[in-house]
């Protein structure tokens, strides 16, 4: 992907010039509380540099930045399955808090889903959402993801055992 340009945002590959903006937007406990523990917190410029280096080294690129007003303020990407599960992928996303609730991720997920289904062999996408993350459930549902099940006591975050809401979207034939 070169870039997907929309009125409110652009989706494009990460670049080293995003380090400062990535660190500034990702360094937020309200983001970290909703994502896996491997997402750094605090999130400094060294973390941003390592991430961009890793993301830029993949072929095809799987992690993209969401740019708003010329600055990379969020991320969206997919992790393909391995071996016989290589036709499916987990989708993941986050956005700098000052940009929440403006409809950006709801639309960016649609762009990403279309991109994946049109440009890769992946035919099934899934996402696993913490039980309290209603905004994430909402953006998935708005994009046609279906809640398949709730895995009870399936994760631990901030020392609290939580349920995972498991969503999937199949590529239509
Ligand atoms: C989840 C996240 C990406 C959503 O991005 P966003 O750009 O704010 O999403 P949108 O504005 O497109 O849509 C958010 C929707 O959630 C709804 N919402 C927000 N907070 C809510 C809440 N506490 N309860 C119920 N609905 C809520 C909004 O009303 C909106 O729905 P609507 O379009 O029907 O009004 C963003 O909140 C985020 O980065 N969170 C932290 C990281 C994260 O959770 N990543 C996903 C892990 S699975």
The residues pairing with 65 across neighbouring beta strands, listed in sequence order, are 12, 75
> Of ligand 1's atoms, which has the minimum distance to the CA of residue 101?
11
Residue 173's pLDDT band (boundaries 50, 70, 90)?
A: confident
The pLDDT value recorded for residue 1 is 79
Question: Which of 104, 135, 136, 162, when mutated, tests ligand 1's pocket best, judged by the most ligand atoms within 8 Å of its CB?
Answer: 135
Ligand 1 lining (C-beta closer than 6 Å)? 31, 34-35, 93-95, 100-106, 127, 129, 133-136, 138-139
Interval 32-57: pLDDT, tens: 999 999 999 999 999 999 999 999 99
Q: Which residue has its alpha carbon closest to ligand 1 atom 8?
A: 100
Radius of gyration of the chain (CA): 16
Distance in angstroms between the alpha carbons of the first and the last residue of the chain: 23
Overall fold of domain 4-126+135-147: Aminopeptidase (3.40.630)
DSSP assignment letter at 17: G
> 91 near 145, Cβ under 8 Å?
no
Residue 76's pLDDT band (boundaries 50, 70, 90)?
A: very high
As a whole number, mean pLDDT of residues 65-81 equals 98
Q: Which residue has its alpha carbon closest to ligand 1 atom 29?
A: 101
Residue 27's pLDDT band (boundaries 50, 70, 90)?
A: very high
The pLDDT value recorded for residue 36 is 98
pLDDT beyond 90 at 65: yes
What are the φ and ψ backbone dihedral angles of 113, each rounded to 5 degrees?
-60, -50
Place of tokens 């937020």: 28
> 131 near 164, Cβ under 8 Å?
yes
- 121 is written with which tokens? 């062999």
Annotated domain spans of the chain: 4-126+135-147
User: pTM of the entire structure?
Assistant: 0.97
SS3 labels along 117-166: HHHCCCCEEEEEEECCCHHHHHHHHHCCCEEEEEEEEEEEECCEEEEEEE
- Across the chain, mean pLDDT equals 97
pLDDT beyond 80 at 133: yes
> Of ligand 1's atoms, which has the minimum distance to the CA of residue 133?
44
What are the φ and ψ backbone dihedral angles of 59, each rounded to 5 degrees?
-135, 110
């Amino acid at each position: 992907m070169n870039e997907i340009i929309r009125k409110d945002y652009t989706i494009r590959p990460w670049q080293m010039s995003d380090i400062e903006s990535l660190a500034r937007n990702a360094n937020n406990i309200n983001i970290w509380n909703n994502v896996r523990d491997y997402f750094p917190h605090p999130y400094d410029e060294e973390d941003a540099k390592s991430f961009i280096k890793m993301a830029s080294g993949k072929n095809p690129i799987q992690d993209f930045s969401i740019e708003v007003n010329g600055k990379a303020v969020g991320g969206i990407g997919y992790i393909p399955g391995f071996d016989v599960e290589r036709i499916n992928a987990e989708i993941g996303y986050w956005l700098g808090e000052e940009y929440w609730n403006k409809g950006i991720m709801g639309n960016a997920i649609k762009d990403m889903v279309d991109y994946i289904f049109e440009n890769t062999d992946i035919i099934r996408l899934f996402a696993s959402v913490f039980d309290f993350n209603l905004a994430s459930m909402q953006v998935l549902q708005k994009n046609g993801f279906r809640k398949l099940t709730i895995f009870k006591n399936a994760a631990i975050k901030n020392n609290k055992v939580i349920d995972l809401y498991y969503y999937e979207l199949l590529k239509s034939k």
